[in-house]
Amino acid sequence: MDFPFEPFKIKVVEPLRSTTREERDRIIKEAGFNLFNIPADSILVDLLTDSGTSAMSDNQWAGLMVGDESYAGSRNYFNFEAAVREIFGFRHIIPTHQGRMAENLLFSVVLKPGDLVPNNTHFDTTRANVQHNGGMAVDLLNPAGRDPHTEQPFKGNMDVQALEDLIQKHGRGKIPLVMMTITNNSAGGQPVSMANIRETREVCQRHGIPMFFDACRFAENCFFIKDREPGYANRSILEIAQELFSYGDGCTMSAKKDGLVNIGGFLATNNADWAGRVTNLLILIEGFPTYGGLAGRDLEAMARGFREVLNEDYLRFRVGQIRYLGQQLDRAGVPIIKPTGGHAVYLNARDFLPHIPQYQFPGQALAVALYREAGIRSVEIGSLMFAQRDPETGETTYPDLELVRLAVPRRVYTSMHMSYVAEAIISIYKRREQITGLRIVHESPYLRHFTAQLEEV
Ligand code: P71
């Protein structure tokens, strides 16, 4: 097993509170068996998301002290702009408070009702913002990406032939842009290869359609390219990122992931007309263009985070820590999605709990068991999140995959924490027949997984 070495030492610590099994039994009942309802103080290892949960470096914290809170033209904006321009290279750079605001602004400006947006796989907020603006979000993931049992180096890739067919069928007039999500979060944090990006670019160019990146986890994607794709072993992460973004016309970015900050994002584009229209809307709903809904100090933390995230020792540790957790589980026979991605390990709950039918939420049952057993919070990505009931026939369609995501915050937990998580999961796996299913007692009409109340069957 490759042992992931933390390339940092700890200067400030945040205590974790242990709870007893009895306390957790009470807390989970009071939370309606929904982990979103648990106060974070009652959680030992929080793997709900890697978004906005990073630990900042001493250099970033020092940057907060040189925050300039001028309404217009803050020096931190120029530092932020310089960092983004160097890595991403786009002409117009518009800060936002997080990723979904960049999506909202972009799709408000470029979409007209009935338009299509192809993507290797839309993340939920991206899909929602496309739909909210009258568009249709089309996922064109390559077939290997959909199979939880095949191991391939770039399972996040776009199905380029399907993209070509979609454009042929609907015409470029209906497709204002093509999106590429790196890494592909909804497909397991799997990377996209440079070759696939180039091929996608070629199709877009031939039809005169702009290509945008959803760049949330771009540095992790670039590390996978360096590690796995022929021809990149001797290139720096910065050089790989520069090449990658040179194929695009713009991007949306949630800096809460590979910006190594707790809040922030941006929209970038080479299209002056789109940038102008986005900026007008930005001033109306978000803020002046040199702060975009953030404080000056947040922009400084982002500027420094973007430079730090390119560090190869850090990325080797980051990807290695996820792999290390995955390897421990895999060796004990625990069913996971392979290979492990850049930011999370995904448990395959259907294979883990074959005795629980999908309508009794095996993914959620497993996430609940993990909290009860060890105070670990994960997130279900399965029937609770995605099953859809037809309002006319009353029939429910279930998603293909029933997963539990263990998303690892950046620079927050040590490899010993990962071993603790692995041990807890292995111990649950050994007595998995004792875990029972759940049923919903209350749900809201959309995004029910955030607020649903459940009980044990
Ligand atoms: C994740 C998140 C955060 C999240 C968001 C909504 C519900 C639950 C958790 C956010 C992403 C993402 C990609 C690929 C855009 C966003 C939105 N991911 N694209 O995975 O993964 O960014 O949160 O800054 O608005 O837990 P934002």
pTM score, two decimals?
Answer: 0.96
Rounded mean pLDDT of 277-298?
97
Closest C-alpha to ligand 1, atom 18: 51
> Is the bond preceding 354 in cis, omega lying within 30 degrees of 0?
no
- Other beta carbons within 10 Å of 45: 21
265 lines ligand 1 (CB under 6 A): yes
Q: Which two tokens stand for residue 234?
A: 């001797």
The predicted model gives 242-260 an average pLDDT of: 98
Cα 254 to ligand 1 centre (Å): 7
Q: pLDDT band at 238, cuts 50/70/90?
A: very high
Pocket test for ligand 1, best of 54, 107, 120, 123 (most atoms within 8 A of CB): 123
The answer to whether 153 and 228 are in contact (CB under 8 A) is yes
Task: Give residue 187's pLDDT.
Answer: 86
pLDDT above 90 (res 386): no
pLDDT-derived band at 126, boundaries 50, 70, 90: very high
CB 248 within 8 A of CB 212: yes
| Residue 405 Cβ < 6 Å to ligand 1 | no
User: 137-169 pLDDT, tens per residue?
Assistant: 999 999 999 888 899 999 999 999 999 999 999
Alpha-carbon gap, residue 231 to 157, rounded angstroms: 18
Please tell me the predicted confidence (pLDDT) of residue 400: 84
Per residue in 399-455, pLDDT (tens digit) is: 888 999 999 999 999 999 999 999 999 999 999 999 999 999 999 877 789 999 999
Nearest residue (by CA) to ligand 1, atom 10, is 51
With a 6 Å cutoff on the Cβ, whether 214 touches ligand 1 is: yes
29-to-33, 82, 367 alpha-carbon distances in Å: 6, 50, 14
Answer whether residue 8 shows pLDDT above 80.
yes
| Nearest alpha-carbon partner for 78 in 88, 68, 89 | 68
Average pLDDT, integer, range 270-290: 98
